[in-house]
Structures are given as structure tokens and as C-alpha cells.
Structure 1
Amino acid sequence: MTQRDVVFPAGRQALYERNRYSPAIRSNGFLFVSGQVGSKADGSPEADLETQVRTAFNNLNAILAAAGSSFDDVVDVTVFIVDPQSTFERIWSVVVSEFWGSAPHPTVTAVGVTWLYGFDFEIKVIAKLPDAT
């Protein structure tokens, strides 16, 4: 098997090692980022929904930056939302106004789920690495 090219954001490697997964893997010009939640440095959830969404994006952006990338390079997004019927508008108002950027936007799939290990929102992405042709 080929050695995985793992990307770790600054200061959170122990959290990923404890939970036994890679935050992101570089492969064939793409960056595949694991689902990011609104977790504090110790892995516990932020208290309110909007803070969870902001923290999830900040965690995501730290991984993208560690790979020499940014959200502008993201081509595909999957979000997981607990109780999307009552939370989607609150989540999307934060996403669009603070993080989404201008068009053209990445593709997006939103999935309603019943459980996210104590979190209400998770985002995973695939990004085209800037130096890949």
C-alpha cells in the first residue's frame, strides 16, 4: 500500500491520533478532508449552534491552510445536520455570510442525520490542490 500523505493542522495532531483518523489526505492533486465539527481544542463541542458552525469552518480552514490551500479551492462539500428542518436556516446564514465566498460555488450535498457524537453540524470537503495541474 502507498504511504498516505496526511495533513495535520497546527496544534490538533494529538486529537486526531487519539481518535485514530487523519484530518486530510493528499492524493492525485486533491485534498480529501475528514468531516470537521465545531470542536474545541480538547474535542468537546461548542455550546451553541452558530458557534459550532463557525468553529467547524475554522477547523476546516486550518486544515486547508496546512495543505497550502483555501476554501476557494474546494470543489465538493458534504454537510451533515442534526434536525435540518429546524436548524438549516440558522446554519446556512452563518455559512453563506461568513465563509462561502462568491460564485462559482462548490457542489454541495446536505444530509440530515440523527446523531453526530454530540454535535449538530459537520462538514467534509474535497479540494483541488493549487499546485496540481
Structure 2
Amino acid sequence: MDKRDVVFPAGRQELYDRNRYSPAVRANGFLFVSGQVGSREDGSPEPDFEKQVRLAFDNLNAILVAAGCSFDNVMDVTMFVVDPEANLPTIMKVLPDYWGAAPYPTLTGIGVTWLYGFQFEIKVIAQLPKAETAA
């Protein structure tokens, strides 16, 4: 197995250190991204649901950029949603702004009852660009 390399988005390492996990790990040509939520700079939840979903995608994109990727490199998505029946229409409205054109990544959606004060979380696996896989 290749050595694991942790990726931190700009300005958020303290948040991850405080919570004791890596935002993303590069290994074996892939980027494994921890679940991202719509947290503000201080880690608190964005109260407006649509803004929370957009902020979760923005936080995800910051990690992808820090790893030399974009959403085009994402192969697999897992979304965790509190009250999916009520919240899925808003999520589906936001997705096209971040996912771009087909082919789309695979998607697994999981309804949950609690996300530490958040309503939406997204985690992905991305394939690193060829230049990154040689590192």
C-alpha cells in the first residue's frame, strides 16, 4: 500500500485537528474525502438548509482543489440526509450547480435521524489526476 497523505483545505486544519480526523487521504491513486457538512468557519451549522447544502459542496470542493482535483474526478458519492422526504427536493435543486454534465458519479443516499446538528453530509471518493498518482 502506498503511504497515506492527508489533504487539508486552506484555513480549516484547526477544525480537523480539534475533531481528530483527516478531511481527506490520498492513497493508491484515489482521494478518500471525509463527510463534509455545511459548516461555517467556526464549525457551526449554517441554519438555512439550501445554504447548508451549498456550503457542504463548497467545503468539499475546497478539499478537492487542495488535492489537485475537481468534482469531475469524483467517482462515488454518499449523501447522508436528515428527513430525506422533506429535504431531497432542495438537494436535487442544488446538485446540478456542482455536478456538471454527465456522466455523473455513482450515488448512495442514506436517510439518518441525526448529524450533529446538520441536515446534510456528503462524502466522496475521487480518482486523482494522472500527475498526482505518480507522487
Do these two structures clear the TM 0.5 threshold for a shared fold by scoring above it? Answer: yes
What percentage of aligned pairs have identical amino acids?
A: 69
8 Å contact kept, 1:82–1:120: yes
Unaligned 5+ residue runs, structure 1?
none
Alignment length, in residue pairs? 132
- Secondary structure (helix, strand or coil) at the match of 1:21 reads coil
Unaligned 5+ residue runs, structure 2?
none
Q: Normalising to structure 1: TM-score of the pair? A: 0.95
8 Å contact kept, 2:84–2:111: yes
CA distance in 2, matches of 1:2, 1:90: 39
Q: Normalising to structure 2: TM-score of the pair? A: 0.94
1:43-82 correspondence to structure 2 within 5 Å: 43-82=43-82
8 Å contact kept, 1:53–1:95: no
8 Å contact kept, 1:54–1:94: yes
Runs of 4+ in structure 1 over 6 Å off: none
CA distance in 2, matches of 1:57, 1:124: 10
Query: Deviation string for 1:60-107 (max 9, x for gaps)?
Result: 0000000000000000000000000111011110112x1110000000
Supply the RMSD in Å over aligned alpha carbons. 1.4
Query: Deviation string for 1:34-76 (max 9, x for gaps)?
Result: 0000000100000111000000000000000000000000000
